[in-house]
Amino acid sequence: MTFEELQTATLDWASARGILEHSTPQAQCLKGLEELGELAAGIARSDGSLIADALGDVLVVEIILAELCGLDLVACLAGAYDEIRIRKGRMSPNGIFIKEDSTFHLAEGAGHD
């Protein structure tokens, strides 16, 4: 199945169980935090099956949350990708992504006339 087909199937599942009718963005946001906690636990334990399950659960919650907010998750992803696709930067040795922008260039070049 494509992502879009899985998204539709997920929304059908959520609708059939009354989640779309009775849940709220706030409730789904909290559910998402719970699933992120499970993901963190899987990563901490290096448990690939727990990581995979938690990632799937996070996506389910995000699809439902987007729907409750009147958004399409694929469109949200497309918008985010459109912003990052031309972003330049680098990953620091401690795992922090440092965006390259005018401030970055000025800081890098400061005092090097």
Give the model confidence (pLDDT) of 27-71 as tens digits: 999 999 999 999 999 999 999 999 999 999 999 999 999 999 999
Joined tokens for residue 72: 């399409």
CA distance 11 to 61: 10
Q: What is the overall mean pLDDT for the chain?
A: 90
> Cβ distance 57 to 14 under 8 Å?
no
> Is residue 57 classed as helix, strand or coil in its secondary structure?
helix
pLDDT number for residue 97:
82
> Cβ distance 37 to 46 under 8 Å?
no
Neighbours of 44 (CB within 10 A): 9
Confidence of residue 82 (pLDDT cuts 50, 70, 90): very high
